[in-house]
Amino acid sequence: MPGSKSFQVGQIRSGANTPFFILGPCVIESEDFVRTIARDLKELCQTIDVPWIFKASYDKANRSSAKSYRGIGVKSGCRILATIGEELSVPVTTDVHSVEEAQIASDFVDVLQIPAFLCRQTDLIRAAAATGRAVNVKKGQFLAPWDVTNIAEKLESAGCKNYVFTERGVTFGYNNLVADMRSLYWIRKQGYPVVFDATHSVQRPGSIGMSTGGDGELAPVLARSAVAAGCDGIFIETHPNPVEALSDGPNQIPLSDLPQLLSQLKKIHEVLR
């Protein structure tokens, strides 16, 4: 069921013959770290022949503990992402948390991502829209699928026509999320392209006390389900060794598992098509 609106960044577009992927680590742990992962992902996506956008965060502003690692900062992080994009000829994205950050990041990245907890912040939505960049809005864990219409109106009122929504689960009791595949259908039925965030949907927010837990082994299961349900793209955070990740390790997919998973997702999409 194709949506009436489209999302496009370079050669990547919603509704294409192959779903696109947003791939990368949760946070920039160091410049060498993020460059190495980006090169590995480039080689993988070329081999499997799937379109992709590289993702990494310069700041994890929403952490369980004040002692948790956050990142290297907006200017340093965005400069690194920009050089990765140029070197590998791949679109890059990162999340922004304020009007000022949206303006800074727009000079370096191709897609501005609005975090789930900030998806109702009108000033931030409008600021991102006004930059002229494509925008990816994570649907908050507290929103119903039909609530994205209000966000779309804010984006369009500020001049943004090129945007996508990302489903990442809904709060289900304490320290748990549930991924409802009906949400993908309902968002697309309203005419909006939609991405499914496989790794954040298996989070268990704050469940370890000082940090967030998760069920990373379930992320591939949900990713396969989402492609079968007809989403336009899949968001996956990955790490060479999730146990050692500085952020969101429990729900990230090991980099070594991605070749098989991406191949499976591409095949599922081909069968449906």
In a domain, 124, yes or no: yes
3 state DSSP class of 170? strand
Half-sphere exposure of 265 (CA within 13 A, CB side): 34
Q: Which domain holds residue 145?
A: 17-272
**2 within a domain of the structure (yes/no):** no
Residue 1 within a domain:
no
Global pTM value: 0.94
The reply to whether 3 falls in a domain is no
Question: Domain of 197: which CATH number?
Answer: 3.20.20.70
Instruction: Tell me, yes or no, whether 8 lies in a domain.
Output: no
Long-range contacts formed by 65-73: CB under 8 A, 24+ apart:
65/210, 65/211, 67/210, 68/210, 68/211, 68/247, 69/27, 69/29, 69/246, 69/247, 70/27, 71/27, 71/28, 72/28, 72/30
Residue 4 lies in a domain: no
The ranges of the chain with pLDDT < 70 are 1-3, 63-65, 206-211
Which tokens sit at 98?
């304020």
Segment 19-72, tens digit of pLDDT:
999 999 999 999 999 999 999 999 999 999 999 999 999 998 775 667 777 889
Q: What is the pLDDT of residue 209?
A: 57
Count of the separate structural domains present in the chain: 1
86-to-50, 159, 242 alpha-carbon distances in Å: 19, 27, 27
9 part of a folded domain: no
pLDDT of residue 71: 80
pLDDT at 100: 98
The pLDDT value recorded for residue 199 is: 96
Which pLDDT belongs to residue 41?
98
**Per-residue pLDDT tens for 231-241?**
999 999 999 99
Q: Is residue 5 part of a domain?
A: no
